[in-house]
Structure 1
């Protein structure tokens, strides 16, 4: 008798779709499905903002019987700062005078019922990468979209991806008129390295499998 198919946690998919953030529902589900299908091992997200994409990954983590680890300094990306397009004054801590997305993130994870499968690390991604040692099954890069930070995220975390593991990159827009180019450049850098083969993505979400020999 064959084993029943493992399916995504529907409660968490619904919570993700309803949460605040910038992940379209079709891309979020594709992200969750890719994480569900990845080989055994940890799922890690770089850049979680208010937790929308984290909930999609949590839907896969719960189905896999594992957890998703997130790393974010929660001070907001460049585009979230004062004077930028995605600045939200409601996310500024009045006592500190800086963006603080951690309370909103924790609220979304709690309301979504995902506290048992989400391990949140408050740190700069490159600092945490220096302490990490477990090979990753799935790595999602969706941090700051400047060239410097995107390149730094790729350089610090891609070496931790296991052979056969999946690298996901969000907001990849080949046409500059559609969006920023930093995620597109790290996507091209990874693909052009010869260490990855491309899987079927969705919208601005690109999926790459690390080659066994890389």
Structure 2
């Protein structure tokens, strides 16, 4: 199981949110590049970066900063937040970003995902499914659709998506443990696609259980920043 330490960017700083609430923000490192270098120095190979400003604004607000992380650290990077056009995706990939995560647009315009897959391939395109009470949240988690997470996952798999990031928004940043049942449901429902778990990690035991469920990877944010899980422990799982 691949571990992806998370860097969420807002106003140029690395932050953590509580349940996706922009009014409950904690700055974990004012220097985003410094945080990325810390991960690289510890032997971490792949990080998860979210452009929170971009998620709110619907554009790649922190594109230059994220591209700088790639050029200065050499880390593999997957990026989400504010992805609305094929040109944005092309620009990120040209800057060396390894994967681009499509979130809101997967619900609002499934054909956009299909076009992205055809143009860039399933290795570069990830669909992020963020859910509240099982229903998909969009626009930086500020809106909730009437689409349930399993239906969206099945629809996206049919058009060629092979990797999902699934987040239970109500667990994110809470240190209360992941929604294991949702990951089991996804693993049972999907026949070809893999799942990366995100949200609620609070201890190494969570990582063990997710590995047993069979997810392809897990994103770790607040558990690391609050000292619940160390970099050494993350590396043991394939950071």
> Could you tell me the TM-score, scaled by structure 2's length?
0.34
**When you count strand as a share of all residues, which structure comes out higher?**
2
